[in-house]
Amino acid sequence: MSERYADVILNISHESVDRPFTYMIPEDLCGKLTPGTAVQVPFGNAKEAKLGYVLALRKEAPTGFQLREILGIAEKKVGVEERLLTLAVWMHEHYGCMLNQALKTVLPVKEAVKARPRKTGATGRGEAKDALLSRELTAEQQAVLSELRRAETEKAGGSYLLFGVTGSGKTEVYMRCIEEQRRLGKQAILLLPEINLTFQTVRYLEERFGEEVAIIHSKLSKGERYRQFHRAARGEATVMVGPRSALFAPFPNLGLIIIDEEHDGAYRNDAVPRYDAREVAAKRAELAGAQLILGSATPSVESWQRATQGEYRLLRLTKRAVSGAVPAEATVVDLRDELREGNRSVFSRALSEKIMVRLSRGEQVMLFMNRRGYARFLSCRSCGEALRCPHCDVTLTLHEDGSLRCHYCGYRTVKPERCPSCGSPYLAGFGMGTQQLVEQTGRMFPAARILRLDADAVRGKDGGQSILEKFRAGKADILIGTQMIVKGHDFPNVTLVGVMAADTELYANRYTSAERCFQLLTQAAGRAGRANKRGEFVIQTYRPEHYAIQSAAAQDYERFAAAELAYRRAAGYPPVLHMLTIQLAAKDETALTRAAALFADCLKIATALAAEAPQCIGPVNAGVYRVQDYFRKMIYMKHACYDILIQIKTAAEEAFRAQIPGGISLLYEFV
């Protein structure tokens, strides 16, 4: 071995040392290091040795440095598999985070926790058996599987979009694919949105894969999490199931990555690095030569476009594998007509009639309203001023206990007696929230037992579990809530779902608002009617003609996707063009303005040097300009080629950092 030197990345979160350093490899470590090995190195004048990771081995040393020696291999650290390291570098470049932040993401647990006696799983064997396998596959499932198997023998890898209606048996297809990989001696990763990682799911998977499945979820302790990753690294586990972070399971011979409910927003990490698990999964699959399967009944438009353009192979499951469940019957109510006819209540006549029917039959109702609190804002009837948060550029939400709260920063104050700007005592609440909806529902249906589930109800005690259980047990007739209630939970006795104001989502100032609206409505529709009871679904709206509402009512995904893609094309939004958003934030507004202008200049210069010029918008103030006393400005860059955006961003950032001292935070996100 003539590789006498190693490039090491240090485990220090600071941009000034966020680059590799070259060290000599001492005699006794020769041949023992591979990319990803955790090592102890001397650094600067630091008294203690620093932890670092070998990034690459090299034969020649760079000149101009007095090289120092690696002290030794850091024990009790899981070495990073080489490809995972490559993945970290890729994430560093694509999401604008520091290398060591990317590393921390890729190796979620670095430190071994003292080995504790293993908890014997509370998993009772046998009970979940009936819920799974041994069922005959449908013809469609067979076809999908043989398609996947054929591709596997032709050449490893490939990406697939499994577009399957609810109840078409996607999960069974996943299970068979995972078993196939096991037979081939390869490992598989199954990603699920956190909300789907329920006790039942976990038990089902353990039934199916026994000791070979490693499951991670948010309630796991750090030590247990570490153990699961360690089992994957040592080959004790061959299947990793979990949320986004399960993507980084250190499997040596990964053969398959499945992302279930791929449209789910939970696949975007909201902390640094702001990665999209679907993109990272595609990259990891590419590096490992593994197959990638994205599954959904309502795919994201990005994935749909890729599938229709042949980048992903489209696999369809159009028929329900389970007989009985019928899609809910939808009614769209135009709220403008209600007002015209003199109905000033929040319940349209159609909705209140349908609620009455359910109540008389002893069936349950869910009402969805995407705004918590009592009233959206409090404003003065004399001068028109609304009460605003002193730290953010938003109005304060009125809560039923008389408090005024900021939903951005958590600021709280009591409702004043008089208007702070003119002294008038006439303050009135506008815009209804869930708390007021509970009140109004109680007035409208005095006999009904009502429960509320939103972020406020969830806070504290058991995270809303008792509310859900109470409702499931039939101890209430109507459940009122925010989007929390439409995700995941199934209540067999719910036969009516009402969306109080479908438009709130549409008016959100984002290019994805129609897609979000469609997804929420589709999920809400899915809550109505199970098995033998036909469900009904009522959408109240001021824009009944909108394609998101029309296609959600018709439960026609493809119609929605076509309309949405046409809109994205016309407006030049993703996935037609890639869009990089750059957010600059600072407490000092003047410094921010200066920094934003400087960044824009750096972008201009970087653009001039690049082969192709992206479209740049901004700097403009963020939709909510100030949050928690930080001012925020945005710059948007759009271009058909992803790499051009990365290249220009990287060059601009370098020039920018050379000129700006600090106090300005910079955030990148591909949207």
By CB under 7 A, which span of 6-14, 280-288, 347-355, 620-628 interacts with DNA?
6-14
By CB under 7 A, which span of 8-16, 151-159, 286-294, 574-582 interacts with DNA?
8-16
**Please, which residues bridge with residue 254 across strands?**
187
Nearest residue (CB) to DNA, 45 versus 134: 45
Instruction: Give yes or no for a contact between 636 and 574, defined as CB atoms under 8 angstroms apart.
Output: no
Q: Which residues contact 411 (CB under 8 A, 6 or more apart)?
A: 389, 390, 391, 392, 396, 405
For the bound state, the minimum distance from the C-beta of residue 263 to DNA, rounded and expressed in Å, comes to 37
Feature table: binding site = 380, 383, 389, 392, 406, 409, 419, 422
User: Is position 62 an interface residue for DNA (rule: CB under 7 A)?
Assistant: yes
Nearest residue (CB) to DNA, 33 versus 396: 33
User: Is position 45 an interface residue for DNA (rule: CB under 7 A)?
Assistant: yes
Question: How far is the CA of 126 from the CAs of 129, 207, 366, 396, 630, in angstroms?
Answer: 5, 8, 34, 52, 55
How many angstroms separate the first and last alpha carbons of the chain?
A: 45
By CB under 7 A, which span of 65-73, 88-96, 147-155, 349-357 interacts with DNA?
65-73
- Cα–Cα distance, 450 to 401 (Å, whole number): 18
User: Is position 67 an interface residue for DNA (rule: CB under 7 A)?
Assistant: yes
Binder of DNA out of 14, 118, 119, 219 (CB under 7 A): 14
- Cα–Cα distance, 125 to 352 (Å, whole number): 46
Buried-exposed string 208-233: b where 16+ CB fall within 10 A, e elsewhere:
bbeebbbbbbeeeeeebbbbbbbbbb
CA 501, 503, 508, 512 torsion-angle sign: positive
Nearest to 80 by CA among 110, 122, 58, 42: 110
Element housing 569 (H / E) = helix 557-571
Identify residue 519 by its one-letter amino acid code: Q
For the bound state, the minimum distance from the C-beta of residue 21 to DNA, rounded and expressed in Å, comes to 4
By CB under 7 A, which span of 46-54, 195-203, 499-507, 650-658 interacts with DNA?
46-54
User: Is position 16 an interface residue for DNA (rule: CB under 7 A)?
Assistant: yes
Nearest residue (CB) to DNA, 66 versus 509: 66
Binder of DNA out of 1, 13, 416, 588 (CB under 7 A): 13
- Half-sphere exposure of 390 toward its Cβ, with a 13 Å CA cutoff? 5
User: Is position 659 an interface residue for DNA (rule: CB under 7 A)?
Assistant: no
Nearest residue (CB) to DNA, 13 versus 200: 13
User: Is position 272 an interface residue for DNA (rule: CB under 7 A)?
Assistant: no
Number of chain residues interacting with DNA (CB under 7 A): 21
User: Is position 21 an interface residue for DNA (rule: CB under 7 A)?
Assistant: yes
DSSP assignment, residue 80?
P
User: Is position 17 an interface residue for DNA (rule: CB under 7 A)?
Assistant: yes
For the bound state, the minimum distance from the C-beta of residue 25 to DNA, rounded and expressed in Å, comes to 11
- Cα–Cα distance, 300 to 221 (Å, whole number): 32
Nearest residue (CB) to DNA, 67 versus 531: 67
- Half-sphere exposure of 310 toward its Cβ, with a 13 Å CA cutoff? 0
Nearest residue (CB) to DNA, 100 versus 519: 100
For the bound state, the minimum distance from the C-beta of residue 583 to DNA, rounded and expressed in Å, comes to 20
Binder of DNA out of 2, 27, 44, 119 (CB under 7 A): 44
Site string for DNA, 483-522 (x = CB under 7 A): ----------------------------------------
Q: Which residue has the tokens 């350093």?
A: 21
**Please, which residues bridge with residue 5 across strands?**
24, 58
Q: Which residues bind DNA (CB under 7 A)?
A: 12-14, 16-17, 21-24, 42-48, 62, 65-68
